[in-house]
Amino acid sequence: MISPSRWLPFEKPLQDIEEQIQALEAYAAAHGIDRSEKIAELRVMHADLSHQIFSNLSAWDKTMMARHPNRPYTLDYIKLIFDDFIELHGDRRFGDDPAIVAGVGRLNGETVLVIGHQKGRDVKERQFRNFGSARPEGYRKAMRLMELAERRHIPVIAFIDTPAAEARLEAEERGISEAIAACMALMSRLRTPIVVSVIGEGGSGGAIGIAVGDHISMLEHSVYSVIPPEGCAAILDTFGRDGTRGHEAACALKITAADNLRMGIIDEVIPEPLGGAHRNAAETAVLLKDTFTRVLAGLHKLPTDVLLANRYAKFRALGQYIDPSAPKKKAKK
Amino acid sequence: MSEPSRPSVPPGLWQKCPKCRALLYVKELERNLRVCGQCQHHFQIGTAERIAQLVDEGAFTELDDGLLPANPLDFPDYEEKLVRGRAKAGQNEGFIYGDAVIDGVPTVLGVANFAFMGGSMGSVVGEKVTRALERGADLNRPVVLVCASGGARMQEGIVSLMQMAKTAAACARLKATGNLYIVVMTDPTTAGVLASFASLGDICIAEPGALVGFAGPRVIEQNLKIKLPPGTHTAEFQLNHGMIDLVVPRRELRTTLGKLLSYLAPATAAADVDAPVAVAVD
C-alpha cells in the first residue's frame, strides 16, 4: 500500500544494503548465475542492522519517523481497522475542516465514533488537509459528533497526528483557542469511553484538543510534545535561538513514546513493525486494533460514573511539583 | 508590589509609557491604577497590586503559596531560570490564588504573575489554577481568574501540555456544580493558557489593548512570512469576533466584577453551604 521509498538519514546503511541486494539480483537475473547465497547473507545483515538501528533511535530520529511522508495516516488506519466507516462532515457553524476527520465506524461489530487528525500524502492533498493543522471547525465537528456518541452510548476512538493547530488569522477570528479548550472540557466529562492513540505527531494544543480520554497510547515511533523541537530551539536561549539545534531540544523535551510512558503521560506504547509503521501499515493496524479491542472491553465494564471519576483523576494527577505542606513530595515516576 | 516588566524604564519619579512614549509622573500613574493618562495604555501590574484593586479591603487570604516548581524533565537551564523568575517576581511561582471577597461576594480569586517566566503554565500554575477551580466547586463559590501568560512552560514539556487538559477538566467540573466562572484576560493572554482555562469562562472580560491570541502576531508574521493588519490579537479584536464578552478599563473592573458576581452569584445562594467568612489580609 505504502512504499517505503524515502530514506531517513539514519537509514543510510540499510539503504546501501538494499541497493546492493537489488544490484545483485539484477546481475544474477541478467547473467543467469546464482547469487542467492550472497543475497541471503546481505538479508541477514540487513535484519541485524535494522534491529540495531530502530531500537536505538534518538528523539530527533523519532521526530523524523513520526513525520515520515509515507507514515500511515488516520484514514489509512481507519480503512484497515474498521469493518465500515461513514465519514461525517461539518461543524454546523461555519464549515468542514479536512484536517480533522470524523465518522461512524464498526469495530468487531460494535459501533464507534472515530475522530482523528488527517495529513495529506501528495502536494495537493497536503494543502487540502492543511498539513494536519486543524482549524476551529475541526474541533467543533469533533465536539458535535462526540455529543452524539454520548447520547447513543457509543465509544470514541481518537487518532492524534498533527504538527500543531492552525494559528493563522482566520483561525484566530473563529476562536481556535476556545475551540480547543471547549473540546478538552467536553471530553473530560463525556459519558462514554474515549480511547486515544498518538500515531504520528502529537503536536501541542492541536493534539491535546482531541486527546483527553480514558486510555492514551502512542505508537512506538510517534512523538508527543508541547512544541515542535525546532520551535523550542528557536525561542529558548538554552538552544541558541537560531532553530538549528532541534535535535538537542527534541532530546530535552522528552517527546518519545518511552519518555511519555515513563512520565505517566500515556498508558501504553504500541510497538511498530521493524523499520516503522510505514513499512507495514497492515501489521501496525492489527496492533492498534488489538489495543482498542482490549481497552474498550475493559472500559465497557466500568459504570459511567466510575469511568468519569477515573478520567478526571487521570489528568488531575499529571504534574510534578514540591508541596511542602503535603506529607511527601508529589512526584510521578 | 512593583512590576518590573519593562526593564528599559528607569525607576524613579517618572516613567515612560511604552505605547505613546509620554513621560508619566509615577505617583499619578499609580493613582491611575497604572493606566497611561495620555493614551490609556494599561501597564502590566503585579499580583499584590491587582488583588488590592479588586477585592474588598483586606479581603484576600492566599492559599498554597508554598507550592514549588520541580524539574520534571531535568531540562537544561530550567533551575537557573526559576531562581531568576523568583527574584524578578518576588513570588514562588507564576500564579497565586486564595479566598477573596469582591463587593461583598465570597469568591475564589486567582491572579497570574507575568513577571515569573512570562506567567507560563507549568505544573505549579496548572495545579493552583485547578485547585482554585475545585475550591469554587467544593465550596459553591464563584471563581475569578485574572490571566497573564505567554502560554505553556516549555521547560516542563509535555507535563505543561497536560496542564491544559487538567485545567479544562476542572473548569468543566466547576460549571457542572452550577457555579460561576469569570475570566479576566490581561496583557498578554495567549497560547496554551488561552487555549485552556482562560477561554472557558462563563464570562470573559479583557483589559483594553491587551494582547489576546492563540499565537502572537509576531510569531505568525515570522513563521508564515506575512504581514498582519494592525489591531489583530487584541482584546478589541476578540470582542469584535465574539470571543469575549466585555472589554473593561481597569478603573471599572472592580465595579463590573462586583455587579456580575452579585447578580449571578449572590452570597445568599451559597449561605447554606459553607458560611463565607470575612478573611484576613495575608
Which residues pair with residue B190 across a beta bridge? B213
Per the domain annotation, does A89 fall within a domain? yes
The bridge status of strand A100-107 relative to strand A110-117 is antiparallel
Please give the helix or strand (H or E) that residue A261 lies within, else none.
helix A257-262
Per the domain annotation, does A297 fall within a domain? yes
Q: What is the pLDDT of residue B7?
A: 53
Under the banding of pLDDT at 50, 70 and 90, the label for residue B10 is: low
Q: Identify all chain B residues contacting A204, using CB atoms and an 8 Å cutoff.
A: 152, 161, 192
Average pLDDT of B132-154? Answer: 97
Q: Which of B87, B97, B172 is nearest to B127 (CA)?
A: B97
Chain A residues 212-251 with CB within 8 Å of chain B:
212, 224-227, 232, 235-238
- Residue B156 shares a structural domain with residue B169: yes
- Residue B85 shares a structural domain with residue B179: yes
- Residue B129 shares a structural domain with residue B6: no
- Residue B20 shares a structural domain with residue B127: no
- Residue B38 shares a structural domain with residue B73: no
Q: Identify all chain A residues contacting B171, using CB atoms and an 8 Å cutoff.
A: 181, 185
Nearest CA to CA, how far is A191 from chain B (Å)? 13
Q: What is the pLDDT of residue B12?
A: 80
Check if the beta carbon of residue A253 is closer than 8 Å to that of residue A59: yes
Chain A residues 191-210 with CB within 8 Å of chain B:
204-205, 207-209
Per the domain annotation, does B277 fall within a domain? no
Range of the domain at B17: 1-43
pLDDT digits (tens, 9 = 90+) for A43-70: 999 999 999 999 999 999 999 999 999 9
C-beta atoms of A254 and B73 within 8 A: yes
Which residues pair with residue A105 across a beta bridge? A85, A112
C-beta atoms of B163 and A212 within 8 A: no
Q: Identify all chain A residues contacting B159, using CB atoms and an 8 Å cutoff.
A: 263, 265, 318-320
User: What CATH number is associated with residue A232?
Assistant: 3.90.226.10
- Residue A87 shares a structural domain with residue A205: yes
The answer to whether residue B139 scores a pLDDT higher than 90 is yes
Q: Which of A212, A204, A182 is nearest to B215 (CA)?
A: A204
Average pLDDT of B146-165? Answer: 97
Q: Identify all chain A residues contacting B223, using CB atoms and an 8 Å cutoff.
A: 167
Q: What is the pLDDT of residue A1?
A: 38
Average pLDDT of B271-281? Answer: 45
- Residue B235 shares a structural domain with residue B95: yes
Q: What is the pLDDT of residue A89?
A: 98
Per the domain annotation, does B67 fall within a domain? yes
- Residue B169 shares a structural domain with residue B210: yes
Structural domains in chain B (count): 2
Per the domain annotation, does A192 fall within a domain? yes
Per the domain annotation, does A278 fall within a domain? yes
Per the domain annotation, does B117 fall within a domain? yes
- Residue A162 shares a structural domain with residue A91: yes
Q: Is A180 on the interface with B (CB under 8 A)?
A: yes
Per the domain annotation, does B279 fall within a domain? no
Per the domain annotation, does A179 fall within a domain? yes
Per the domain annotation, does B245 fall within a domain? yes
Omega prior to A327 cis, within 30 of 0: no
Per the domain annotation, does A311 fall within a domain? yes
- Residue A49 shares a structural domain with residue A70: no
Nearest CA to CA, how far is A110 from chain B (Å)? 28
- Residue B16 shares a structural domain with residue B97: no
pLDDT digits (tens, 9 = 90+) for A243-285: 789 999 999 999 999 999 999 999 999 999 999 999 999 999 9
Q: What is the pLDDT of residue A333?
A: 41
Per the domain annotation, does B162 fall within a domain? yes
User: What CATH number is associated with residue B121?
Assistant: 3.90.226.10
Residues 6+ apart with CB under 8 A from A189: A308, B169, B172, B173, B176
- Residue A211 shares a structural domain with residue A249: yes
Average pLDDT of B22-27? Answer: 94
- Residue B126 shares a structural domain with residue B154: yes
Neighbours of B7 (CB within 10 A): 7
Average pLDDT of A291-301? Answer: 98
C-beta atoms of B152 and A226 within 8 A: yes
The answer to whether residue A332 scores a pLDDT higher than 60 is no
Q: What is the pLDDT of residue A4?
A: 52
Range of the domain at A81: 63-316
Average pLDDT of B74-84? Answer: 97
- Residue A70 shares a structural domain with residue A123: yes
In chain A, whose CA is at the least distance from the CA of B80?
Answer: A238
C-beta atoms of A320 and B72 within 8 A: yes
ipTM above 0.85?
Answer: yes
Separation CA A197–CA A218 (nearest Å):
5
Determine the Cα angle at A216 with ends A69 and A104, to 5°: 75
- Residue B96 shares a structural domain with residue B202: yes
The rounded mean pLDDT for chain A is 95
Separation CA A290–CA A295 (nearest Å):
8
- Residue A49 shares a structural domain with residue A103: no
Separation CA A70–CA A60 (nearest Å):
17
Per the domain annotation, does B278 fall within a domain? no
Under the banding of pLDDT at 50, 70 and 90, the label for residue A325 is: confident
- Residue B4 shares a structural domain with residue B73: no
Structural domains in chain A (count): 2
Give residue B282's identity as a one-letter amino acid code: D
Per the domain annotation, does A331 fall within a domain? no
Per the domain annotation, does A332 fall within a domain? no
Nearest CA to CA, how far is B32 from chain A (Å)? 32
| Mutation choice for B interface testing from A139, A147, A226, A259 by most B CBs within 10 A | A226
- Residue A312 shares a structural domain with residue A204: yes
- Residue A143 shares a structural domain with residue A254: yes
pLDDT digits (tens, 9 = 90+) for B48-73: 999 999 999 999 999 999 999 999 99
Per the domain annotation, does B280 fall within a domain? no
- Residue B60 shares a structural domain with residue B35: no
In angstroms and rounded to an integer, the radius of gyration of the C-alpha atoms of chain B is: 18
- Residue A163 shares a structural domain with residue A252: yes
DSSP output for A2-28: ----PPPGGGHHHHHHHHHHHHHHHHH
Separation CA A273–CA A279 (nearest Å):
7
- Residue A13 shares a structural domain with residue A109: no
Under the banding of pLDDT at 50, 70 and 90, the label for residue B268 is: low
